[in-house]
Amino acid sequence: EDKVVQSPLSLVVHEGDTVTLNCSYEVTNFRSLLWYKQEKKAPTFLFMLTSSGIEKKSGRLSSILDKKELFSILNITATQTGDSAVYLCARSYGGATNKLIFGTGTLLAVQP
Binding residues for other proteins, rule: CB under 8 A, are: 4, 6, 31-32, 34, 41-45, 48, 88, 90, 92, 94, 96-105, 107
Considering the complex, what minimum distance in angstroms separates the CB of residue 112 from other proteins? 24
Considering the complex, what minimum distance in angstroms separates the CB of residue 78 from other proteins? 26
DSSP string computed for the chain: ---EEEE-SEEEEETT--EEEEEEES-S--SEEEEEEESSSS-EEEEEE-STT--EEETTEEEEEETTTTEEEEEE-S--GGG-EEEEEEEE--TTT--EEE---EEEEEE-
Considering the complex, what minimum distance in angstroms separates the CB of residue 35 from other proteins? 11
CA proximity to 6, closest of 23, 19, 28, 29:
23
Choose between 44 and 77: whose C-beta lies nearer to other proteins: 44
Choose between 29 and 97: whose C-beta lies nearer to other proteins: 97
Considering the complex, what minimum distance in angstroms separates the CB of residue 52 from other proteins? 16
Choose between 27 and 78: whose C-beta lies nearer to other proteins: 27
Choose between 61 and 101: whose C-beta lies nearer to other proteins: 101
